[in-house]
Amino acid sequence: MASEKKINVGGQAVIEGVMMRSPERVAVAVRRPDGKIVLKSDPYQSFTKRNKFWNLPIIRGAVILIESMVLGVKALTFSGDIAVAEEEKKSNSKKEQKGISKLWMAATIAFSLIAGLALFFYLPLILTDLIGIKSGFWFNLVDGFFRISIFLLYLGVIAMWKDIQRIFRYHGAEHQSIFAFEDGKELTVENARPYKPHHPRCGTSFIMTVLLISILVFLTLGRPDSIVDRLIRLAFVPLIGGISYEAIKLSDKKMNNPIVRLMVLPGLWLQRITALKPDDSMLEVAIVALKGSLGEKFSGDPNVVWADDLNQQEASLEQAK
């Protein structure tokens, strides 16, 4: 089915679940404390499909990067609401909860952008500047070395947390279910289980590509000698993201090329940290999310609960009170 329709599917791990995105829908499946899987599936069309300008090479990469961040935060918010026990939920009204959720999402996106730019782009500049390198060429190479080192250190630290390790296992489940889909297999736990949890079109590989391409782009800018020069470098981040997206897209089409396979190796190596082998229950959740993104209705499946049905039940209980 995947090979006939040429459907590209991607996703991300969330709290006790997986978000999947197809060209037409976004679905989030989350394992509830009682064992059932809550599924939320909504139609979604990328801005790159709504307007030809946003689908231009380089530009589309920046657009998809922003879209992925927004959808990712929404999915994390949804999974967090489902994963917590009922008694731990706050007693705010539904309207208040929605308002708080929107504010939290906006604040999270803003903080993530600022923190990411500061940690992975501005801090390396400061560290390199402290060394006193005058050559623009060597300054940018050392700056890139610090950037990659900080990223690897960051991954190493968060990977020690058990909760993060569990999310990384759901990340592996996402990849294995996508591999099965891309090979045209029936989407079952048995068919997804044999695959490796490392996918060349992964977000981890994309970040590694961004870090490597940033070195090449910044080499053209020379040594930043002022605050303005450093801010200009930050302004190049969307361009770097766009170029990286095109590189990942091209590598996915040319995986039989030995040079391309060599280029994607660093990202696959990193996935040994960020995409771990899942258990069958995690694969089951990932498959539900993938099927949901493809429009499956799950009629008669007692293990899958639709989020819309839960909302209606909550609304009925509120009215009864």
So where are the chain's domains? Answer: 2-320
- List CB contacts of 237: < 8 A, sequence separation 6 or more: 117, 121, 214
For Cα atoms 124, 130, 135, give the angle at the middle one, nearest 5 degrees: 85
Q: Could you tell me the pTM of the whole model? A: 0.83
Query: For strand 10-14 and strand 37-43, is the pairing parallel, antiparallel, or unpaired?
Result: unpaired
- Mean model confidence pLDDT for the chain: 83
Condensed to tens digits (0 to 9), the pLDDT of residues 202-260 reads: 888 888 888 999 999 999 988 888 888 888 888 888 889 899 888 888 877 777 778 77
Report which DSSP code applies to 87: G
Q: Give the C-alpha separation, 165 to 212, whole Å.
A: 26
Task: Check if the beta carbon of residue 261 is closer than 8 Å to that of residue 255.
Answer: yes
pLDDT of the residue at 112: 64
Q: Which two tokens stand for residue 257?
A: 């090329």
Render pLDDT for 75-125 as a digit per residue (tens, 0 to 9): 988 888 886 644 455 444 444 444 445 555 556 656 666 777 777 788 888
Question: Which tokens sit at 55?
Answer: 């689908």
Encoded tokens for 151: 């990223």
Residues in the chain: 321
Closest-CA residue to 191 (of 172, 176, 207): 176
